[in-house]
Structure 1
């Protein structure tokens, strides 16, 4: 069978369209959440490791989040994973969802959109239930996906599913993990890293913030995550990401990088904390460590970004800010 030039060109075009369609379908899902304030500023609450039916000071942290959320008129809330302890959700009807989320975060200021990633404890349950749209029907503020992007104009948030990166979860004999949608693992991780790298490269936002459950660097009990250091960190540095925000270690923490502008922020104090395990760290990098409950706020403008950590009493215990020259500056 022979092809003339016109037929060959047509076939190439069809193949290109099919490949392009598959590629677009593989891209990270994107949401838009633009600032509504006149000055175009964006205020966000960040909390991780919380879902314990209000116990272990979860309700107290939620109360302070509500107060600070009202004061700042927050635009949305970020959950850094381990949303439901100890073993995620059983199914979409699991009462743990209401008892740990809807019935705890009741303040008016917290009835904004929640953007959530999965943690390792969530993977011990029914992952598909936690990702199900049925939960959003139960509570409209809930949104949880594996990996996705929230575009807010001046800042883009890249949410990354970090649990499948850790080797130890695949050999853990004490717990069962729901790997549906992840296997084959190598292909899943390869595609995810390519998508994240490409999305970061394409981003023209002034600020780029990456959010995952697991630590990259941490002085806490879990410590560093070597798989993320090896596979994800080089991308974040090459694409000039400003912040990496995580949970996992049940503490509040700020580590700066000596290799780039990247700041590592841990907000894992949503409930059970006070583990009493703190590792030695380079004082030039360790800006702040608090072995207790609390949460974090993030304020972003065209030229400035600022972070504050709050304890369970609603007191600011650490703050940090940075500025960038932009075309909007005079």
Structure 2
């Protein structure tokens, strides 16, 4: 949920039970958003009209190429070789989709960095469409909260689902994972948005012979991190969907021959920001939901010690946490400040090489056959300029990582512990 939203009074309630348990919620911001969601929306009606018109065009036999197919033919291609520096450079953003000035400023600053660094791929770490996710695959918010802000960042974006993308009755609850299918459907007609399914992998080839240089594994963390209990048995924490996803991720990581393996998931394993870490999100440590206890199990039993990085958003902060014995050498990075910023202070004390809880920003991952580096940039929103704040470098897969501060930058930030 967003920083200004309420936390459930107890774990494992459905959305209806949550609201009935405390009717006063209806008088505050949550109630206002619930009523807004229940009201008919002009943009949803318009989206349905566009979809209907497109269907009529195809059925009429006019012989025109459907718009989605035309867009597919012009889709920005995935990189097929390292850039001029012998590396893949990847823009990392998270929690971006507000459509407000901060998102536009971060994107503008990122455009300059991407040109200088030869970036050919981008990642969106969830909460792509605030506050409630899209109402349809043709929702105008895809344009105002993704396409327009990212004009000039002309590359494929590996997208993952966040809790706001899967809102149910309550915005940001993660209570209706099926809503994520609208973002999968949108990907079929977008040049940038890459989401072939709700979870997937993308492997980028090395320059010479052999296996991939880097492989990304995008996962859907919502059914095991929602703020409310799932009503649909398919999406329950131990339902068919999560069993299938876990088996896929386990098999994909085991089979991967990539030098570098990177897991993309909206909810972090470890986190020093307000939301906390998997297993105790927002102070809850009981129940199958809210706390993310089953996502903690997934990360620890399937990901840690196999992937070099876990990249997450959810917390509106920038954090480069240190690999430890607990993580099996896997480094957790939180990059969720592309549209909203944090509260300015650390809430937990996991070892970190650098962290920032106040500024907007983004990161750039660079992977070569020699090393993998992640650069963190903070953004001054009024001037739309980026500042390289910190870098971490790993010279061997799951090996010792060296951390270096950028010239003139401090390795500490507001609230660091």
Report the TM-score, using the length of structure 1 for normalisation: 0.79
**Residue 53 in structure 1 maps to residue 106 in structure 2:** no
* Cα distance between partner residues in 1 of 2:109 and 2:333: 20
* CA pair 262-273 structure 1, distance change in 2 beyond 3 A: same
* Cα distance between partner residues in 1 of 2:84 and 2:93: 26
* Cα distance between partner residues in 1 of 2:302 and 2:390: 28
> Which residue in the other structure is 2:388 paired with?
316
Map 1:159-238 to 2 at 5 A: 159-166=218-225, 168-170=227-229, 182=235, 185-226=238-279, 227=293, 228-238=295-305
**1:37-77, CA deviations, whole angstroms, 9 ceiling, x for partnerless residues?**
3554100000000111133x111101011111111111110
Q: Structure 1 residue 93: deviation in Å? A: 2.4
State which of 229, 247, 255 in structure 1 corresponds to 2:313: 247
**Residue 280 in structure 1 maps to residue 356 in structure 2:** no
> Which residue in the other structure is 1:267 paired with?
335
> Which residue in the other structure is 1:151 paired with?
203
* Cα distance between partner residues in 1 of 2:200 and 2:378: 29
Q: Structure 1 residue 229: deviation in Å? A: 2.0
**Residue 34 in structure 1 maps to residue 80 in structure 2:** yes
> Which residue in the other structure is 2:148 paired with?
103
* Cα distance between partner residues in 2 of 1:166 and 1:202: 27
State which of 51, 55, 66 in structure 1 corresponds to 2:111: 66
* CA pair 61-34 structure 1, distance change in 2 beyond 3 A: same
* Cα distance between partner residues in 1 of 2:374 and 2:148: 28
Number of aligned residue pairs: give it. Answer: 281
**1:162-183, CA deviations, whole angstroms, 9 ceiling, x for partnerless residues?**
1111253326xxxxx9x69636
Contact 1:35/1:75 (8 A) holds in 2: no
Unaligned runs of 5+ in 1: 1-30, 172-176, 326-330
**1:187-238, CA deviations, whole angstroms, 9 ceiling, x for partnerless residues?**
2212211111111111111111111000110010111011222222222224
SS in 2 for 1:59: helix
State which of 368, 372, 377 in structure 2 corresponds to 1:305: 372
* Cα distance between partner residues in 2 of 1:117 and 1:84: 11
Higher relative contact order (CA 8 A, sep 6+): 1
* Cα distance between partner residues in 1 of 2:312 and 2:237: 25
Q: Structure 1 residue 111: deviation in Å? A: 0.7
SS in 1 for 2:239: helix
**Residue 142 in structure 1 maps to residue 193 in structure 2:** yes
* Cα distance between partner residues in 2 of 1:73 and 1:52: 27
Contact 2:84/2:118 (8 A) holds in 1: no
CA RMSD of aligned residues (A): 2.2
**Residue 76 in structure 1 maps to residue 121 in structure 2:** yes
SS in 1 for 2:344: coil
Report the TM-score, using the length of structure 2 for normalisation: 0.63
SS in 2 for 1:168: coil
Q: Structure 1 residue 135: deviation in Å? A: 4.7
State which of 133, 145, 158 in structure 2 corresponds to 1:115: 158
SS in 2 for 1:124: coil
Q: Structure 1 residue 255: deviation in Å? A: 0.9
Q: Structure 1 residue 85: deviation in Å? A: 0.3
* CA pair 32-193 structure 1, distance change in 2 beyond 3 A: farther
